[in-house]
Amino acid sequence: MKVQGFYINGQWQQPNSKNTFTTINPATEAIIDEIPAGNAQDIDSAVKAARAAFDHGPWPKMTGAERGEYLQKMADIINARLDELSKLEVLDNGKPYPEAKWDIEDTAGTFEFYANLAKELDDGNSEDVIALSEPGFSSKAIKEPLGVAGAIIPWNFPMLMAAWKVAPALAAGCTMVLKPSEITPLTAIALGEIAIEAGLPAGVLNIVTGLGVDAGQALVDHPDIDKLAFTGSVPTGAKIMANAAKDIKNISLELGGKSPLVIFEDTDIEKAVEWIMFGIFWNQGQVCSATSRVLVAEELYPALLARLKTEAEKITLGSGNEEGVLLGPLVNQTQYQKVLAAINRGIEEGASLVSGGKKPPALEQGYYLEPTILTDMEEDSWIWQEEIFGPVVCVKPFKTEQQAIDMANNSRFGLAAAVMSKDNERCERVAKAFRAGIVWINCSQPTFVEAPWGGYKQSGIGRELGKWGLNNYLETKQITRFDSDEPWGWYIK
């Protein structure tokens, strides 16, 4: 793939900024490419294009079905480029190829889902007739595109996170400026190529690569942005929220988590171990909803821990392109150092290391870290409470259902939670008691484009995916009509 500048106003535009940043292959530590680092003027060009496309272009006025056709074309192109885009994601992010392929399939699936949902906007689904108590008036509420949206996304699911924002925003009739993560910009740049091939009208989607403190900040501060959709860490989310408050921008935030999985004594150990491992080792644990706190009924605890250790130590680590690899490198040196420091801090503060905790000796080059299991930490300890964002699981026993619920909810985060038991009523009861936006029963992590995604507490504001994701980009307008021929008669009798 050739990096040609920024995708602005339907074409590749040369950067105003002369700065660049490097993107690296985390499996080898080698530089892949120098990428243009957009500045405030580059962001301004992109916002101007998006503003003009929204205020004067055809996009918001088209029918949903017409917009859906463009989204479907984008889905088809992504599917046609599946293998190449998956390889690009492995190169930039490090994840194993089957996971990258799943991400890209989901990316196409997200465009396809919103292509279909856009059509439903034409079927009266964007209009509600309101029954008024006052005779002589009639009223309806209609949904309209919110305006120009700015999207800022992280590096853990680079193309999929772009799709979670671009597809619903465009389906709703908004126009958008996307700023991908500076750690994994490559598939977002490919999205520019895909938009060109799909013939998307100029200015509807604009993509500017760059650093958070420059391009990201400029997007947040831009007065012509109506909505900011952010996915990333809590500290950045808090900054964005504070800055957006200055001119009351509409915001949605998808932030971090420290998600619990509660395993009751009647759970099959093999199934429990499988879902724990999928929950914490998939994508190297760099997942906002990762199963990072596991609570196990004390009767099951010793046997489960032993089985988990055995299975975790069997995981094949290596480059994401190698056959049979289930755990790739962490995304970069900073993330690797951060996760290693977190493990060491946990141990210094009293946790016991059951397995992993270091770089595998055979993999000198690349940001590899063994699957890591920690126990014996205090409930208020840093390692139990804070997001690590790596292949590190903390395991603790519990005695009663109420204790498990209290421990699960004792967190400033509330993104996801999971429960496993053969007792359906117990699962339903615990699912309702969790203070989290996403709850899994007898599994952990599978994510579906049809279902709402988002967190309670410090894990965020708003919901993505499904019809909730579309609503993120719609305004509600009341239209009230005076139907009577009688005079109103307040001033003029």
Which helix (DSSP H) or strand (DSSP E) does residue 431 occupy?
Answer: helix 424-433
Q: Coil, strand or helix: which one is 126?
A: coil
* Of the residues 171, 240, 436, 470, which one makes contact with ligand NAD according to CB under 6 A: 240
Query: What is d(CA 194, CA 395) in angstroms, rounded to the nearest whole number?
Result: 44
The 8-class DSSP code of residue 61 comes to G
* Of the residues 158, 192, 216, 397, which one makes contact with ligand NAD according to CB under 6 A: 216
Torsional sign, CA 60, 65, 68, 70: negative
Query: Is residue 103 a contact point for ligand NAD (CB under 6 A)?
Result: no
Min dist. Cβ of residue 160 to ligand NAD (A): 9
Query: Is residue 93 a contact point for ligand NAD (CB under 6 A)?
Result: no
Min dist. Cβ of residue 413 to ligand NAD (A): 9
The one segment of 187-195, 200-208, 211-219, 302-310 that binds ligand NAD by CB under 6 A = 211-219
Query: Is residue 259 a contact point for ligand NAD (CB under 6 A)?
Result: no
Query: Is residue 209 a contact point for ligand NAD (CB under 6 A)?
Result: no
* Of the residues 19, 79, 138, 233, which one makes contact with ligand NAD according to CB under 6 A: 233
Catalytic entry in 254, 370, 387, 401 = 254
Question: Of 177 and 304, which CB lies nearer to ligand NAD in the complex structure?
Answer: 177
* Of the residues 97, 155, 281, 336, which one makes contact with ligand NAD according to CB under 6 A: 155
Catalytic entry in 99, 174, 288, 464 = 288
What are the beta bridge partners of residue 36?
A: 20
Min dist. Cβ of residue 71 to ligand NAD (A): 21
Question: Do 371 and 355 contact (CB within 8 A), yes or no?
Answer: yes
Query: What is d(CA 230, CA 299) in angstroms, rounded to the nearest whole number?
Result: 42
Which helix (DSSP H) or strand (DSSP E) does residue 98 occupy?
Answer: helix 97-120
Q: How far is CA 224 from the centre of its chain?
A: 24
| CB atoms inside a 10 Å sphere around CB 100 | 31
> What is the contact mask toward ligand NAD in residues 434 to 463, using x (rule: CB under 6 A)?
---------------------x----x---
Q: Is 394 annotated as catalytic?
A: no
Q: Is 127 annotated as catalytic?
A: no
The 8-class DSSP code of residue 47 comes to H
Q: Which residues contact 420 (CB under 8 A, 6 or more apart)?
A: 261, 262, 263, 264, 267, 271, 272, 275, 427, 441, 442
Min dist. Cβ of residue 265 to ligand NAD (A): 31
Total residues binding ligand NAD (CB under 6 A): 29
Question: Do 206 and 9 contact (CB within 8 A), yes or no?
Answer: yes
**Residues classed as catalytic:** 254, 288
Binding site for ligand NAD (CB under 6 A): 152-156, 179, 181-182, 212-213, 216-217, 220, 231-233, 236, 239-240, 254-257, 288, 387, 389, 415, 455, 460
